[in-house]
A and B are shown apart, each in its own frame.
Chain A
Amino acid sequence: MVAVTGAVPATRRPRGGARQAVRLVVLIAILAVVLYPLIWMIGTSVKSQEEIVNNIGLLPETFTPGNFTQGWTNFDVTFGRFFLNSAMVSLLTVVGNGISCLLAAYAFARLRFRLRGLWFAVMIGTLLLPGHVLIVPQYILFRSLGMVGGEWPYLPLLVPQFLATEAFFVFLMVQFMRGIPRELDEAAKIDGANSFGIFRHVILPLSRPALVTTAIFSFIWTWNDFFRQLVFLSQLEDYTVPVALTLFIDSTSQSAVGPMFAMSVLSLLPVFLFFVAFQRMLVEGINTSGLKG
């Protein structure tokens, strides 16, 4: 590969070509290290117990899909239930964040009202507030309201998401809305629209890209979240996938490694599919959004 890339542009820019070849080799080497754990994970998930200990290669000699069926039914409740629970929590979080953050962002980005500057500063302040700081009092409050381990134990996970507590998404949407030309608001205003009309007919349709970004990251972060779900879910049948996965660690027997890896691979699959579908947006969308503006 080095020879090929080095040879082709050699006639025109020999130094640039050689440099590019070196760069490529270095990048591929780093990429191999970075991807190794993921490939090893997938390989191990289809290795038999014996091979997990003895075969140090990436790929199994005998393909063992049985890890998946064994892992799926490893506990009294199947992983089907855990996946459903995770999907429900994640999807409702997407809905909650989408609606509540959009409303708050519109107020911050477009409307004039008393104390707006103060509230905006408070919102920015909560951006840096670590979730771990509030977990104890939130637990106590939700418990005193009968929401922890109640009829439907997901309320403590979901109520905050419907109240725009993810300041990051509010901030992201404010930044996005500032880019929507104000002339559109003015035009709608001349046509007789009030603040609600402008929101409905101008801001909402034009904010779709910000909404999509919010939806995808809400989903992935909630799907991967462990801390809050660990704290608030106590019954096996209510567990989400991350909490259920830790049950494998409790059962320290070596025989569970294959099934544990199989379920780990499955649990990452939705995130991976999002990555494949929205790669460009994920890479360029969110991380840089805080920088523009």
Chain B
Amino acid sequence: MALTTTPDRTRRDSGSVRPASSGGGTGRIRHSEGLAGYVFLSPWLIGLMAITAIPMLLSLYLSFTNYDILTPWSEVQWVGFENYRRMFADDPSFWHAVQVTLKFALIAVPLKLAAALGVALLLNKAWRGVGLFRGLFYLPSLLGGSVALAIVWVNMFNRDGAFNSFLGLFGITGKPWVNDPDWALETLMVLAIWQFGAPMVIFLAGLKQVPTELYEAASVDGAGRFRQFRAVTLPMLSPVIFFNLVLETINGFQGFTAAFVLSNGTGGPVDSTLMYTLNLYIKGFTDLEMGYASAMAWVFLLAIALITVVFFSTGRFWVHYSDGEK
């Protein structure tokens, strides 16, 4: 939806028809406006070149070298595909990080979206106080990405943390979950799911768009609430589900802060929280293997691009766009 909107052609064309009475004047207007266009666009264009395009090309070049920040440029060696070969064939930490990241995204994202949709359905109808609930459920999305909250989270799932006190109420003796390689990543998943407010708000906006007549019609046809949810809500909401799914998956792949805080930047315990971006940071800025880290960055970029393409090409089988699509 949002991402598929292209610059509004019809409006641009109609706009050019009206003032352009005819002939020579048009060219002059277009020329001065074209110049103005580039004047206004210049900060963005400079940014695109200096902050995005040139670094991307540099990164592509570096990915074929053994560059580390310490050796002078004259001694940098071209190593061909060595970095890529090593990554796929000789570096267990790479595959391990891929696994950790995929596991994190595959479990946390669907659960987060399910929580978001569930709560959104409970908050869909307008009643007094509903705004307060929406706000409070959204609050974790504002705070959750911070170092401060990651610190709280790690302590909450530590030996003396709140989670174990809670288990203690039922006579269960917990353990320091964050130090357990089998559980550390799961605590980070819970942190991600806890921030379900952001997709929830998007679901609420989508639910508002569903025409009530559809529910009335379904009700007349004898559909119960569950049937209405399956036959009306889900298909009508599928564009929003799709939007959230793409966004949250890409965000999920980039989880860094909480993993860094939990493991003090190592990806531990026993590499169980070695998210892809954390691994990239360690290779690039701890081990200073910037050539290798650049190769990792390119593989990451291609993976994300590939996943986005897969989403969009499979989306047309289940995403339902009503013809009233605005």
Contact = CB atoms under 8 A, between A and B. Distances in A.
Contacts of A196: 36
A265 interface: yes
Given A137-B59, A186-B19, A293-B326, A245 B168 contact: no
Interface in A1-48: 20, 23, 26-27, 30-31, 34-38, 40-41, 44
A40 to B, nearest CB: 5
A133 B152 contact: no
B162 A116 contact: no
A266 to B, nearest CB: 9
Interface stretch (A60-68, A72-80, A98-106, A207-215): A98-106
Contacts of A128: 3, 250, 304, 308
B47 A293 contact: no
Interface stretch (B78-86, B92-100, B104-112, B135-143): B135-143
Contacts of A117: 6-7
Interface stretch (B48-56, B213-221, B226-234, B316-324): B48-56
B8 to A, nearest CB: 7
Interface residues of B, number: 100
Contacts of B50: 141, 163
Interface string A125-161: 0111111111111111101000000000000000110
B201 interface: yes
A282 B127 contact: no
B205 A288 contact: yes
A165 B297 contact: no
B15 interface: yes
Nearest to B251: A130
A50 to B, nearest CB: 11
Contact of B198 (A38, A135, A287): A287
Contacts of A106: 40
B306 interface: no
Interface in B240-260: 240, 243, 250, 253-254, 256-257, 260
A231 B280 CA distance: 12
Nearest to A118: B7
B36 A195 contact: yes
Interface string B69-82: 10000000000000
Contacts of B3: 124, 127-128, 290
A285 B93 CA distance: 41
B119 interface: yes
Nearest to A26: B122
B59 A170 contact: no
B140 A34 contact: yes
Contact of A137 (B56, B142, B257): B56
Q: Is the interface of B mostly helix, strand, loop or mixed?
A: helix
A195 B33 contact: yes
Given A137-B62, A284-B201, A40 B146 contact: no
Interface residues of A, number: 109
B156 interface: yes
A289 to B, nearest CB: 8
A147 to B, nearest CB: 12
Contacts of A23: 122
A242 B147 contact: yes
A133 B304 CA distance: 11
Given A104-B41, A137-B58, A220 B147 contact: no
A226 B47 contact: no
A107 B131 CA distance: 36
A288 B300 contact: no
Nearest to B37: A113
Q: B55, B257, B281, B308 — which one has the most chain A CB atoms within 10 A of its CB?
A: B55
A180 to B, nearest CB: 12
Nearest to B4: A124
A36 B168 CA distance: 16
A224 B256 contact: no
Contacts of A132: 254, 256, 277, 280-281, 297, 300
Contacts of A35: 136, 139
A120 interface: yes
Nearest to B169: A56
23 contacts: A30-B119, A34-B137, A53-B160, A107-B44, A112-B16, A112-B33, A116-B37, A131-B254, A132-B254, A133-B298, A137-B55, A141-B58, A162-B43, A163-B46, A163-B47, A224-B145, A230-B260, A260-B151, A264-B148, A268-B146, A275-B139, A283-B138, A291-B202
Interface of A: 20, 23, 26-27, 30-31, 34-38, 40-41, 44, 52-53, 56, 99-101, 103-104, 106-108, 111-114, 116-117, 119-124, 126-141, 143, 159-160, 162-165, 170-171, 175, 178, 182, 186, 189, 194-196, 199, 220, 223-224, 226-227, 230-231, 241-243, 245-246, 248-250, 257, 260-261, 263-265, 267-268, 271-272, 274-275, 279-280, 282-284, 287-288, 290-293
Interface of B: 1-3, 5-8, 11-12, 15-16, 18-19, 30, 32-38, 40-41, 43-48, 50-52, 54-56, 58-59, 62, 69, 119, 122-123, 127, 131, 133-140, 142-143, 145-149, 151-153, 155-156, 160, 162, 165, 168, 194, 198, 201-202, 205-206, 240, 243, 250, 253-254, 256-257, 260-261, 264-265, 277, 280-281, 284-285, 290, 293-294, 297-298, 300-301, 304, 308, 326
